[in-house]
Structures are given as structure tokens and as C-alpha cells.
Amino acid sequence: MDIPLASTSRIEKKPELVEALKKVLPASSIIEDKAETLAYECDALTAYRCPPMLVVLPETTAQVSEVLKLCHKMNIPVIPRGSGTSLAGGAMPSADSVVLGVSKMNSVLETDYRDRFIRVQSGLTNIGVTNAVEDNGYFYAPDPSSQLACAIAGNIGMNSGGAHCLKYGVTSNNLLGVKLVTMDGQILEIGGAAFDSNGLDLLSVVCGSEGQLGIVTEATLRILHKPEGALPVLIGFNSNEVAGQCVSNIIKAGILPVAIEFMDRPCIEATETFSGAGYPDCEALLIVEVEGSLDEIDEQIDKIMVIAKSLDPTELRRAKDEEQANRIWLGRKSAFGAMGQIADYMCLDGTIPVNKLPYVLKCIGEMSKTYGLSVANVFHAGDGNMHPLILYDANKPGELTKCEEFGAEILRLCVEVGGCLTGEHGVGIEKRELMDYQFTSNDIDAQLRIKDVFDSKWLLNPLKVFPLHHTEARRMAYNF
């Protein structure tokens, strides 16, 4: 990964910047000591690291605005940070940048059950939103695996998904409004409690812009009433292809499961050893979860059983109660942990049309032999969002590079069959240079022009999302 050299002239401005920041922030909100800034050198993509020049943790939107005004004036890049759980390096700093973390802004500001929304500060964790409303029977639908830790600010930045988005959609489908501070310090109110946006839908372009258009300090989110209950069914097959067909048939039948999870043999074996969930010995395993009252769940699972049986499954296990449900989910939920115990791994996130699943899995199997690296597949099959885990040994010289090349080839394949590079993790720094596979220069330029409007000096998270050769002139214009 090519990381441009930090600007020494910017680093030399550090003392001047710290002095100015002390006038607008409490001392406890400024971290300048090298030992402490080290904690911010990376996010959950730990392969790439670089401590920032400074870290600031403002407590109010007004403070965020003041910090941005200063950095704007002094041409210092700012890296927004939620909880630092990005798997794509979205919050990775450069040495000449200021990390702006929203972790001190984590309050619930308003809950309105009659209009079904909640307004929160963006440093609140994803689970914190559901925690705030669940006693009243409500929940916030997007549920990324990191939901215990990840912040709403990061969810909005990356347009996060989760296991339940097959039914409920991703962040952008559940976001009603934001308070956004632009790089020049302007505070914008976009959207609100009404269903639709007024005129051009700025909210949709802010969501998923990876912190490049502004800092979100507050968010208005749709809350939903909880279903009466949910239960899964586990189905084993002797080939990936048939399992893929089963997914397609379920969807076509009009059943709308909340989740359809897919695991292949390497993943089943690893999780079985790790968790002892009692999974069957088979090539592919599906976990399909449906919601409703007990009768409604039965009605849907009956239909799923009929579809599955027609495809000659090796195993068919329906959960009758919560304990059996937990048993079925146990292996799936420990999949990442199980893989981590076996080896280092790289988790990909390409999405493909659902009907291309068998073909893509077959190709990945062949590539795995060519590269000599194992792959375990575990993913959200209902919406085609794959998570191939490439296993490698970080201590073996050259193995990370080989793994990256393998990953890039899988993502190229995803694009070739009509899919995309990333379904829910974001581009960040990790997949930046791969964007040229999916987009023409015109396509990328249209996106860069949006950033020009929000951040004309290209100071917000400038090294992310786009291949560096597309952005160099823009980034260098104020690099002094």
C-alpha cells in the first residue's frame, strides 16, 4: 500500500496549531503526547499504521466547528474517527493530520415513539441506540458485527450493514437526518423527522462518504417496533451450488427472512472445532432466520422446509425455542474467532448478484489452489454480500502480499460478474487502488466533484476511497 510522504511544513505547524486549539477546546480534549497518539495509529485494519500529529476529542458541535475552522485555515488534514472499528482503514491517520474523534459526544438527545425516531450524538455506539429504546419495544435495525463498539458516526460514514439488512436495509435506509459540520466549520442540518428529503437528497451522499464530506455530530435515526419473535432453521447441502439454488428459491418464493447466512466446508470445520456447535459434516450450510409470532414463524419455516427438501439436503434442523436457536447460531457467531485461532486472515467484503454465488465460489476454490492459501467462506447470502476469509501467516515473508493479490483477484471477479468491491465495510485505504476496476475515470471524477463542493481544499480524510493518482492534484493544491 502506497502511503504518500507526510508534509513536513504541516508537521512544523504543530505548536502553533496546539496553541490555537487550546483556546477553543478544554485541555482534556487535546492529545499531543506521542505515546498517547499511538493509540490512534490504526483502526481494526491493523496491517496499516501511522500515528497522527495530534488527536482532538471535542465535546460539542460548536467545538467541532472551531477545530475544523482552524485546520481549514492552516491547511491541516483532518481524519474523522468514530470508535476505530473500520475494517477498511477508514480512520487510519497520516503523520501530518489531526484525528478528530467523536467519542465524547455520546448522548441520546430525543426519543419520539409516536413519530418513530431517535436523535443521538454520533459518538453513541450502535448498540447504545437499541439499548435506549428497547424497553419500549423498539430497536435500531442496522446491526454490524462490531455493534457493541462501533459508533453511529462511523456507521454513517461507512453506510454500515449487518446480518439483518436483508429485511431492514442498511444505514442509509434507516437514517433520517444529520447535523454535519463541513471542513470550513459551517454547521448544516440535513433531513429530519419527515420521511423524505427536501429537494436534492444530500443525506444519501453524506451517508457512506467515509468522512470525506463533513463530520457528523448528530443523527436522527428510524426506530422500528420489535417483532414478536424470531427463529432459525439450519440446512446442510452436499454442494455449494445447491445451497446457492436454495437461497435463490427462498427469495423467489416471497419469504422475507431477516437473515440468510452461508458457510462453506472450511468454515464449518473450523467453527466446529472451535465452538462444538454440532454442525453437520457437509459442503455448505445455510442458516435462515424468520420473524413473527410462533404461528407465523411456523408458516414461513414450513415453506422453507418444502423448498429445502426438494433440493435433497443432508441436514434439516429447525429451532423450536431460543435454546435451539442459540445452538444453531453458535458456530456462525464464532466463525471469525475460530478463523483467528487457526491463522491470520484477511476478510473481504465483495458483493455479487445472488444467482452468481455457485460460480464465484467455484472460482475462489480454484484460485485458492493457485495461490496456495486457504479460504473459508462465511457470508450474508440473501443479499450476495460475501465475506471470504483468506488465511495466511503474517510471520512468513511475502505471504501478506500474496494474500493481498489473491484478495484483489477475488474482488475483480466480484466486479466482473456484476457485483462490487465492498458491500458494507467501505473502501477506506484497503481497497482504494482497486476502484479503477469498477469505475471509469468519468465515474470517479463525478464523485470527486461532490467532494470539491463540500471540501474544496481536500483536507477531510483525503487519502481514502479514491486511487491516489485521481486525487493528487486536488490534494497537493493546499499542501503547504
Residues between 303 and 322 that touch other proteins (CB under 8 A): 303
**Looking at beta carbons only, is 270 or 414 nearer to other proteins?**
414
Q: How far is the CB of 26 from other proteins (least distance, A)?
A: 27
Is 454 a binder of other proteins (CB under 8 A)?
yes
Pick from 17, 30, 105, 352 the residue near other proteins by CB under 8 A. Answer: 352
Is 119 a binder of other proteins (CB under 8 A)?
no
- C-alpha cell of 40? 490512534
Is 135 a binder of other proteins (CB under 8 A)?
no
**Phi, psi dihedrals of residue 298, rounded to the nearest 5°:** -60, -45
* Rounded CA separation 142/165 (Å): 6
Amino acid symbol at 101:
G
**Looking at beta carbons only, is 29 or 300 nearer to other proteins?**
300
**Looking at beta carbons only, is 107 or 186 nearer to other proteins?**
186
Residue numbers 269-308 binding other proteins by CB under 8 A = 292-293, 295-296, 299-300, 303
Q: How far is the CB of 17 from other proteins (least distance, A)?
A: 26
Pick from 193, 347, 367, 400 the residue near other proteins by CB under 8 A. Answer: 193
**Looking at beta carbons only, is 33 or 443 nearer to other proteins?**
443
Residue numbers 87-106 binding other proteins by CB under 8 A = none
Amino acid symbol at 462:
P
Quick one: which segment of 37-45, 69-77, 201-209, 232-240 binds other proteins (CB under 8 A)?
A: 201-209
**Looking at beta carbons only, is 99 or 207 nearer to other proteins?**
207
SS3 assignment for the chain: CCCCCCCHHHHHCHHHHHHHHHHHCCHHHEECCHHHHHHHCCCCCCCCCCCCCEEECCCCHHHHHHHHHHHHHHCCCEEEECCCCCCCCCCCCCCCCEEEECCCCCCEEEEECCCCEEEEECCCEHHHHHHHHHHHCEECCCCCCCCCCCEHHHHHHHCCCCCCHHHHCCHHHHEEEEEEECCCCCEEEEECCCCCCCCCCHHHHHCCCCCCCCEEEEEEEECEECCCCEEEEEEEECCHHHHHHHHHHHHHCCCCCCEEEEEEHHHHHHHHHHHCCCCCCCCEEEEEEEECCHHHHHHHHHHHHHHHHCCCCCEEEECCCHHHHHHHHHHHHCHHHHHHHHCEEEECCCECCHHHHHHHHHHHHHHHHHHCCCEEEEEEHHHCECCEEEEECCCCCCHHHHHHHHHHHHHHHHHHCCCECCCCCCCCCCCHHHHHHHCCHHHHHHHHHHHHHHCCCCCECCCCCCCHHHHHHHHHCCCC
Is 416 a binder of other proteins (CB under 8 A)?
no
Residue numbers 426-445 binding other proteins by CB under 8 A = 426-427, 431, 435, 438-440, 442-445
Q: How far is the CB of 247 from other proteins (least distance, A)?
A: 9
Pick from 67, 260, 460, 465 the residue near other proteins by CB under 8 A. Answer: 465
Pick from 200, 370, 398, 480 the residue near other proteins by CB under 8 A. Answer: 200
- Cβ proximity of 37 and 52 under 8 Å: yes
Q: How many residues bind other proteins (CB under 8 A)?
A: 93
- C-alpha cell of 46? 491493523
- Cβ proximity of 302 and 370 under 8 Å: no
Is 147 a binder of other proteins (CB under 8 A)?
no
**Looking at beta carbons only, is 56 or 175 nearer to other proteins?**
175
**Looking at beta carbons only, is 8 or 440 nearer to other proteins?**
440
Is 127 a binder of other proteins (CB under 8 A)?
no
**Looking at beta carbons only, is 85 or 422 nearer to other proteins?**
422
Q: How far is the CB of 162 from other proteins (least distance, A)?
A: 10
Q: How far is the CB of 282 from other proteins (least distance, A)?
A: 23
Is 449 a binder of other proteins (CB under 8 A)?
yes
- C-alpha cell of 409? 483477484
Q: How far is the CB of 141 from other proteins (least distance, A)?
A: 11
- Cβ proximity of 52 and 98 under 8 Å: yes
Locus of grid cell 410462533: 294
Q: How far is the CB of 233 from other proteins (least distance, A)?
A: 16
**Looking at beta carbons only, is 55 or 250 nearer to other proteins?**
250
**Looking at beta carbons only, is 40 or 454 nearer to other proteins?**
454
**Looking at beta carbons only, is 10 or 318 nearer to other proteins?**
318
Residue numbers 223-252 binding other proteins by CB under 8 A = 225-228, 248-249, 251-252
Residue numbers 162-191 binding other proteins by CB under 8 A = 165-166, 169-170, 172-173, 182, 186-190
Is 22 a binder of other proteins (CB under 8 A)?
no
